Amino acid sequence: MTHYALLIDGQLHPGKQDDEVLDPATEQVVGYAARASQAQVDAAVNAAHNAFTGWAANPQARRTALALAASVLRENSQSLAELISREQGRPLRFTLGEVAGAAATFDYYAHFEAPGAEILRDDEQRRASIERRPLGVVAAITPWNVPIILLVLKLAPALHAGNTVVAKPSEHTPLSTLLLGQLLKDVFPAGVLNIVAGDGEVGEQLSSHPLVRHITFTGSVATGKRLYAGAASDLKRLTLELGGNDAALVLEDADIPAIAETLFWGAFWNSGQVCFAIKRLYVHESLFQPLIDALVARAEKTRLGHGLDAQTELGPLTNRQQLERVKALVADARKHGAVIHSGGDQPEGPGYFFAPTIVSGIGAGVALVDEEQFGPVLPVIPFSDVEDAIRQANASPYGLGASVWTRDIARGEAIARRLDAGLAWVNQHLEVQPGAPKGGYKWSGLGYEGGLRGYEAFSDLQVLNVARPVV
Report the catalytic residues.
241, 275
| Residue type present at position 373 | Q
Nearer to ligand ADP by C-beta: 206 or 278? Answer: 206
Nearer to ligand ADP by C-beta: 4 or 144? Answer: 144
Of 40-48, 66-74, 197-205, 364-372, which segment contacts ligand ADP by CB under 6 A?
Answer: 197-205
Helices of type H across 111-219: 147-160, 175-184, 200-207
Q: Binding to ligand ADP by residue 396, rule CB under 6 A?
A: no
**What is d(CA 382, CA 87) in angstroms, rounded to the nearest whole number?**
37
Q: Between the CA atoms of 261, 266, 269 and 274, what dihedral angle is there, to the nearest 10 degrees?
A: 180
List the one residue out of 192, 214, 212, 166 whose CA is nearest residue 68: 192
Q: Binding to ligand ADP by residue 10, rule CB under 6 A?
A: no
CA distances from 207 to 35, 203, 220 (A): 16, 6, 15
**Which position among 207, 312, 342, 403 is part of the footprint of ligand ADP (CB under 6 A)?**
207
For residues 33 to 72, the per-residue mask of contacts with ligand ADP, x marking binding by CB under 6 A and - elsewhere, is ----------------------------------------
Nearer to ligand ADP by C-beta: 141 or 260? Answer: 141
Of 14-22, 77-85, 200-208, 284-292, which segment contacts ligand ADP by CB under 6 A?
Answer: 200-208
**What is the enclosing helix (H) or strand (E) of 21?**
strand 17-22
Of 25-33, 79-87, 187-195, 223-231, which segment contacts ligand ADP by CB under 6 A?
Answer: 223-231
CA end-to-end span of the chain, whole Å? 74
**What is the enclosing helix (H) or strand (E) of 300?**
helix 288-300
Task: For residue 20, count other CB atoms closer than 10 A to its CB.
Answer: 11
Cβ-proximal residue to ligand ADP, closest one: 203
Q: Measured on CA atoms in the order 199, 15, 205, 227, is the torsion positive or negative?
A: negative
CA distances from 221 to 143, 272, 373, 398 (A): 12, 17, 13, 9
| Residue type present at position 304 | L
**What is d(CA 88, CA 316) in angstroms, rounded to the nearest whole number?**
8
**Which position among 14, 97, 189, 200 is part of the footprint of ligand ADP (CB under 6 A)?**
200
Of 15-23, 102-110, 202-210, 410-418, which segment contacts ligand ADP by CB under 6 A?
Answer: 202-210
Q: Binding to ligand ADP by residue 141, rule CB under 6 A?
A: yes
Q: Binding to ligand ADP by residue 244, rule CB under 6 A?
A: no
- Minimum CB separation of residue 196 from ligand ADP in Å reads 11
Q: Binding to ligand ADP by residue 219, rule CB under 6 A?
A: yes
Residues forming the site for ligand ADP (CB under 6 A): 141-144, 168, 170-171, 199-200, 203-204, 207, 219-220, 223, 226-227
